Amino acid sequence: MRRKVDASILLLLTPVLWGATFPATKIALRHLPVPPFMAWTRLLGFLTVLALLPLVGGRGRGIGRRGGSGVVAALGPGAILGALMFLGYFLQTEGQSRTSATNAGFITGTYVVFVPFLLSLAFRRRVPAAAWLAGMVSLAGLALLSIHDLQTLRPHFGDLLVLAGAVGWAGHIVAVGFFSPRFRPEVLSLAQLGVAAGLHLAAAMGTGLRPEAAAGADVLPLLVITGVLGTGVAFSIQIFAQRTVTAARAVIVLAGEGIFAAVFAAAWLHERLALHQWLGAALVLMAMAYSELRARRPAVTRLDPAAVP
């Protein structure tokens, strides 16, 4: 039980880092088109994990539970995770170029309701009622947060793109929950980021990478935030933590991404929340606290995709 709580606390670093990427992305897109921006961030994330591999990788250990070469064994899962990451980032960033950083952060967080559904659909296992309740409370909070004016409840194209990306992120969280207990986290992270970087580089062939703009003083620090921290470090933490934290629990912790996105957007872009949006933020925090308190009770049934034959 101690190990699970510690892992969920470590996992909390991921939404903090992800939240910072939303305003950073919004600013960077003023200087770079979407395809080269995504290519640079994923490439930097891949190089970060590659550079850290000798520090975090143990010596003399088998990569997978069943032995074999780590890189080769992780290629299949890495391809799946990398493709889901590419899909989520592509839709999210295209949508974010058409909406606010605050909206993008909170709408991305709607994966809280998609994850239990995908878990039930993919593994045909009953999701605990507590997970459904926490997810629905988070969804209600995220809905309030993403609405600027209660008088105008019209969906925008950018918001719909981000919502579609949230489905991709839900699939990624479920897949991480399935694969992460089977492989060393640093190798699985390297594999998924390698695949994602390759797909984003291919997508940027039409516009080019624009290295002169990426290396500029206005853009490079933002690429470090979104690539090194928000991609390389954050996704590695996610994979490590989800070895012991189930996807049903992890998604509630990760839902804090929307709150941190709003905080960073307020600091960098001067975006502000209305009273009903603060109520939504409180609901998300309540759902996170409820999920963690329920997880500390021994009677809670663990939904573990890794246990599925």
Distance between CA 186 and CA 239 in Å, rounded?
8
Burial category of 97 from C-beta neighbours within 10 Å (exposed 0-12, middle 13-18, buried 19 and up): middle
pLDDT digits (tens, 9 = 90+) for 218-269: 999 999 999 999 999 998 898 888 888 877 778 778 878 888 888 899 889 8
pLDDT at 289 over 80: no
Give residue 283's pLDDT: 86
Q: What is the spatial distance between Cα 183 and Cα 230, in angstroms, rounded to a whole number? A: 22
Q: Which residues of 197-216 are buried (b: 16+ CB within 10 A; e: fewer)?
A: bbbbbebbeeeebbeebbee
Residue 6: pLDDT band with limits 50, 70, 90: low
Please tell me the distance from the alpha carbon of residue 276 to that of residue 280, in angstroms, as a whole number: 6
- Range list of H helices, 57-110: 70-96, 101-108
Supply the pLDDT for residue 187.
Answer: 85
Question: What amino acid occupies position 293?
Answer: L
Instruction: Give the per-residue pLDDT at 31.
Output: 93
Q: Over 183-237, what HEC string results?
A: ECHHHHHHHHHHHHHHHHHHHCCCCCCCHHHHCCCCCHHHHHHHHHHHHHHHHHH
Percentage of residues in the chain having pLDDT higher than 90: 34
Fill in the amino acid letter for 87.
L
156 has pLDDT over 90: no
More confident residue, 114 or 255: 114
Which of the four pLDDT bands, split at 50, 70 and 90, describes residue 62?
A: very low
- Cα(243)–Cα(225) distance, integer angstroms: 25
Of 180, 103, 197, which Cα lies nearest the Cα of 145?
A: 103
What are the tokens at 220?
């490079």
CB contact set of 221 (below 8 Å; sequence gap of 6+): none
Q: Is the dihedral of CA 120, 260, 229, 35 positive or negative?
A: positive
pTM as predicted? 0.78
Write out pLDDT tens, residues 167-191: 999 999 999 989 988 888 888 888 9
Q: What is the pLDDT at residue 54?
A: 76
Length of the chain: 309
Partners of 64 in beta bridges? 183
